Structure 1
Amino acid sequence: MEDHRIPKPFHAGELEAQRLAGGGPAGAPIRDRMPDQHRHFFPLLPFLCVGALDDLGWPVATLLSAPPGFATSPEADRLDVAALPPEDDPVARHLREGASIGMLGIELPTRRRNRVNGVVTRQSAQGFSMQVRQSFGNCPKYIRVRTLARVPRSQGPVQSFETEEGDQLPPAAVQMIAQCETLFVATASGPAAQPLARGVDISHRGGPAGFVRLAGRVLTVPDYPGNRFFNTLGNMLLEPRAALVLADFATGDMLHLQGVAEVNWRPDALPTDPLAQRAWTFRVVRGWLRPGAFPYAGE
């Protein structure tokens, strides 16, 4: 029975990351289409994590929300999304036909998650479709379990900002990072990767509040044991530009950041966090704070 696994799913950056980390996975079930269990999973979700590229090639990231059922897979190599980001979302104008896109479906109450990467093939006022090029599951480690409920939010004006050396982030952004237990990071392989391993990816990072350190405009994020694919860190080796998005599940505020990432491969990169096997820094270049933009609350 054919399972549509990609024979060589990793690009040079991912292979180098695996080498620097002491070895890659025992197997790599990365497929060029979605297995049935993934196709049945996405319609259950109330939000999707979305990564794309802006006009200058910088990754951008967001959380796209709608009532469950807005994401469907009519064919194994296609995912339809009946929703679009609002105009004030930094991803909104970059979901064009032909654009590379990465999506993560994550179910916080069960800690289940699946990733799907590909290309936008259709965009309309109602939503968009993507051609699936990479589909794979992830382990449930470090996901903070939450039960989500849709709630009315009062959205405020977007606060955008840019940073330079020595700058501090806005106080509201600092507070969100200090309280963060769930973070999503979008990265890109750049054009050098081979076609079946090329594209945009978005992945989850999680831990107890305070697991992300902030000094000035630089975040330090621990890298905990996982599936050893090293998609995110491998992308950072080829293309250090990256994006982060996080939501405050109490207020609905969303924080979107673009910045430059660098991986510290030393096992003692974060000596105060014994679980961390390495760490990466993220130097913020610009950001958007969108009050009340996430319509779900969760504990």
Structure 2
Amino acid sequence: MPEQQQIQFHADEIAVQKRLGLAEKVAKYGNYFIRQTMPEQHRSFFAELPFVILGMVDAHGAPWALPLFGEAGFISSSDDNCLHIAARPKLAQMLGLNFRNGEKIGMLGIQLNTRRRNRMNGVISNITAKGFDITVDQSFGNCPKYIQTRDLVWSKNESANTDFSAVEISEHIDTRSKAFIEQADTFFVASRTKTFSEDIRSGIDASHRGGKPGFIKVTGNKLCFPDFSGNKFFNTLGNIVSDGRVGLVFPNYANGDAIFATGWAEIQWNNDTINAFEGAERMIEVTIERLLYIPQFMPMTGKLIEQSPVLDATGTWGDLNRKKT
């Protein structure tokens, strides 16, 4: 295996690449795309964003995916190895997150109106009352696949939920949450390596998933969604193989509601359902352990402008059920 791939990917990411016969191909371009510093294009991109998705772990090691909002410019960069964030994660105290200097963190920047996205994994530093910094471990871009085009606007209702005292953490997916999740066309997932260390390949990652409404199925306390063709890095799948714990956030761009969940993921590599589900290469099943439904969590809403064109070649669970009847 080329040495450069060993620098960019941890052992379980490489194991997934090998399993799918893609390790040598990925090795040829992985070193180019995954860097230990941010290119100027990424630094400028993050400074334009009104929100990012963070991946953080709680005191028990469970990952959570968390949106963080601010006026454009709330993220800045003084050099190619550091981002300054002028905001703090709202749910850090409630969820018991490890929001401390020296802790690993993942970040996804995504611009819905242009379908651009870039990711950065690193380490928290310089926490203050107004924000914190992230020192870069890995910086890399992603393609626009599966991103729905939306124009986001700051909500006219300025009373976005900031009081979480009445929010209860549930161990079950209730009827309201089930309906919300099964109509989602977008969610974000945080995943982690089994151990954290000074190795830059260890840590937590935040990623995007998109599909047609109905691409997620909820059965009892489990949800299942297809894994479509992506960048072939298999960061999320490699982390699932490594540890299995994931955090999910489902945003409702129509009204600002959000569902946060954490649980255990399992990859289904080959079965009849995968073969019948259009576009699916694998299935991911997540058993939910904790879930929060927070009305009006997001201070931004957004109208769907266009579904991602590549989703024309993908299906839904409803399509699958119709094929069976």
TM-score after normalising by structure 1 = 0.92
Query: Deviation per CA, 1:246-297, whole angstroms, max 9, x where unpaired?
Result: 1101111111101000001127543442101111110000111111011111
Higher alpha-carbon deviation: 147-156 or 126-135: 147-156
- 2:91 and 2:20 mapped to 1: Cα distance? 40
Query: Given the alignment, which residue of 127, 131, 138 partners 2:135?
Result: 131
Q: Which amino acid aligns with 2:153?
A: A
Query: Given the alignment, which residue of 253, 260, 268 partners 1:256?
Result: 260
Task: Quote the offset at 1:214 in angstroms.
Answer: 1.0
Q: Which residue of 2 aligns with 1:160?
A: 169
Say whether 1:221 aligns with 2:225.
yes
Q: Is the 8 A contact 1:268 1:278 kept in 2?
A: no
Q: Which amino acid aligns with 1:21?
A: L
Instruction: Give the % identical residues.
Output: 39
- 1:268 and 1:23 mapped to 2: Cα distance? 23
Q: Is the 8 A contact 1:6 1:196 kept in 2?
A: no
Q: Is the 8 A contact 1:102 1:201 kept in 2?
A: yes
Say whether 1:202 aligns with 2:206.
yes
Aligned residues: 290
Aligned-residue CA RMSD in angstroms? 1.9
Task: Quote the offset at 1:7 in angstroms.
Answer: 6.2
Q: Which residue of 1 aligns with 2:14?
A: 15
- 1:130 and 1:88 mapped to 2: Cα distance? 16
Query: Given the alignment, which residue of 13, 32, 36 partners 1:32?
Result: 36
Say whether 1:280 aligns with 2:314.
no
Gaps of 5+ in 1: 164-168
**Change in 2 beyond 3 A, CA 1:205/1:79:** same
Q: What does 1:80-91 correspond to in 2, within 5 Å?
A: 80-87=84-91
Q: Which residue of 2 aligns with 1:69?
A: 73
**Change in 2 beyond 3 A, CA 1:185/1:39:** same
Query: Deviation per CA, 1:144-186, whole angstroms, max 9, x where unpaired?
Result: 11000001245373232014xxxxx122211210111111000
Higher alpha-carbon deviation: 57-66 or 106-115: 57-66
**Change in 2 beyond 3 A, CA 1:87/1:214:** closer
Q: Is the 8 A contact 2:59 2:96 kept in 1?
A: no
Q: Which amino acid aligns with 2:128?
A: S
In structure 2, the residue corresponding to 1:284 is in which secondary structure? Answer: strand
Q: Which amino acid aligns with 1:139?
A: C
Task: Quote the offset at 1:17 in angstroms.
Answer: 1.0
**Change in 2 beyond 3 A, CA 1:92/1:214:** same
Query: Deviation per CA, 1:167-223, whole angstroms, max 9, x where unpaired?
Result: xx1222112101111110000112278812111001000011011111111111211
Q: Is the 8 A contact 2:92 2:99 kept in 1?
A: no
- 1:209 and 1:175 mapped to 2: Cα distance? 11
Q: Which residue of 1 aligns with 2:176?
A: 172
Higher alpha-carbon deviation: 198-207 or 260-269: 260-269
Q: What does 1:91-106 correspond to in 2, within 5 Å?
A: 93-106=97-110
TM-score after normalising by structure 2 = 0.84
Higher helix share: 2
- 1:126 and 1:62 mapped to 2: Cα distance? 17
Query: Deviation per CA, 1:30-85, whole angstroms, max 9, x where unpaired?
Result: 10010000000001111010001111111111101111111111110001100012
In structure 2, the residue corresponding to 1:8 is in which secondary structure? Answer: helix
Q: Is the 8 A contact 1:60 1:243 kept in 2?
A: yes
- 1:154 and 1:295 mapped to 2: Cα distance? 5
**Change in 2 beyond 3 A, CA 1:286/1:69:** same
Say whether 1:233 aligns with 2:205.
no
**Change in 2 beyond 3 A, CA 1:87/1:232:** closer
Q: Which residue of 2 aligns with 1:270?
A: 274
Higher-Rg member (1/2): 2
Q: Which amino acid aligns with 1:13?
A: D
Task: Quote the offset at 1:21 in angstroms.
Answer: 2.4
Q: What does 1:114-125 correspond to in 2, within 5 Å?
A: 114-125=118-129
Higher alpha-carbon deviation: 272-281 or 125-134: 272-281
Gaps of 5+ in 2: 304-325
Q: Is the 8 A contact 1:242 1:261 kept in 2?
A: yes
